[in-house]
Amino acid sequence: MVINMNENQFAENLMYYRKKKGLSQEKVSEYLEVSRQAVTKWEANTSRPSSDNLIKLAQLFEVDVDTLLGNGDREKSSTQGEISIGKMPWVFIGISVLCILAYIIHSALTDIFSIGIFICMFILCIPIQLFLHIYFSNAIKNDSFHGIAGFDNRTAYNIDEVKKLLAQIDLHIGILSTVYIFLLCVINGANLKMQWFNGILIVVYILSFITGIELSNYKMTDKIYRREDDRKRARRSIPVTAVYTLILCMGIGITGIVFETKGIENNTLTAIKICGLLILGIASATIGFLFENSKIKKWNPANTNYKTNKASIISFFICVIMYGLMCVV
């Protein structure tokens, strides 16, 4: 196979596409089954890869061989199939803002304004919808994913699929938050006196928020991760996140039920005790969740079967005890 290689341009392109995909030299070397020093030499233009490795590199970076070698238009190649979030999240943000304004105006006219409901709607619209949309948009535009939860530089990702996933998550958050804000606006604006329903909405929102993200992750696991070991780690982390989400929602649900059934008033000593136990329970579950995720990242699927971290089990058990104490305070 005869290859016309622009050596200086190839070395530059190799580094460019590697960084664009968020891959380290070590990850590229593992993918090609060569030494890291070999990749370093290619980027330093002191040696060149074999024809087979050139083809593998082009497949890894999702470009044609000519472009990688410097015989094609790199900028044109990098803009083909460019992924963006689109305008729909802004539409949902606009609807959310209109709902909040409608609630404020209606509440001012009918004297039923609730600062708690307003803060809840404001948080959903600004920190969650708006800020996350801007953050995801910048991550997709600049190929910068280091602040995204779960993103690991040591993992070989298909960056284009990561972008598609972020776009899906952003749209999911936009739709979910807008629906929740609308329901809060209608129920509380109509003064239906369904405070218990607000608690149910919070639990449903958290469940839907995290479940939607996890389902998107699960569906795209095979496309996002290039190596089977990374796919197995990702699949292992999904049920851990699901259990953690259920525990959070259980805590919120138990708190609402205890307050409602026992007629506990806010700002009382009993209310403070229950909220304190809730915080301790969630903190314990969070510690267990972090322990478990840390072990999953270090797990080598090729050599060992996975065993749950004992510290995680203890943390979740402590959380259950805290929830139990909430019911008898």
Q: What is the DSSP string of 53-107?
A: HHHHHHHHHTS-HHHHHTSS-HHHHHHTT-----SHHHHHHHHHHHHHHHHHHHH
Domain ranges of the chain: 7-79, 84-226, 250-329
Q: What is the pLDDT of residue 221?
A: 85
Residue 186 host element (H or E): helix 159-189
Rounded CA-CA distance 264/279 in Å is 18
Q: What is the pLDDT of residue 26?
A: 85
pLDDT in tens, 119-153: 888 888 888 889 989 988 888 887 777 667 667 76
How confident is residue 278, by pLDDT bands cut at 50, 70 and 90?
Answer: very high
Rounded CA-CA distance 3/35 in Å is 23
Phi, psi for residue 54 in degrees, rounded to 5: -60, -45
For residue 95, pLDDT beyond 90: yes
Q: What is the pLDDT of residue 280?
A: 95
For residue 49, pLDDT beyond 60: yes
For residue 77, pLDDT beyond 60: no
For residue 314, pLDDT beyond 90: yes
Q: What is the pLDDT of residue 205?
A: 87
Average pLDDT over every residue of 227-247: 86
Q: What is the pLDDT of residue 84?
A: 67
Average pLDDT over every residue of 153-170: 81
Phi, psi for residue 24 in degrees, rounded to 5: -85, 165
- Vertex 209: Cα angle to 206 and 210 (nearest 5): 90
**C-alpha neighbours within 13 Å on the C-beta side of residue 268:** 10
Would the pTM of this model clear 0.95, i.e. be above it?
no
For residue 2, pLDDT beyond 50: no
CB burial of 130-169 (b: ≥16 within 10 Å; e: otherwise) equals bebbeebbebbeeeebeeeeeeeeebbbbbbbbbbbbbbb
**CA-to-CA separations, 144 to 111, 147, 159, 193, 282, in angstroms, rounded:** 47, 8, 10, 46, 31
How much of the chain, in percent, has pLDDT values that exceed 90? 16
Q: Which of 77-86, 142-151, 284-293 comes out lowest in average pLDDT?
A: 77-86
pLDDT in tens, 171-227: 999 999 999 999 888 887 776 666 667 777 888 888 888 888 888 888 888 888 877
Q: What is the pLDDT of residue 1?
A: 42
Highest mean pLDDT among 37-41, 56-60, 64-68, 263-267: 37-41
Q: What is the CATH code of the structural domain delimited by 7-79?
A: 1.10.260.40
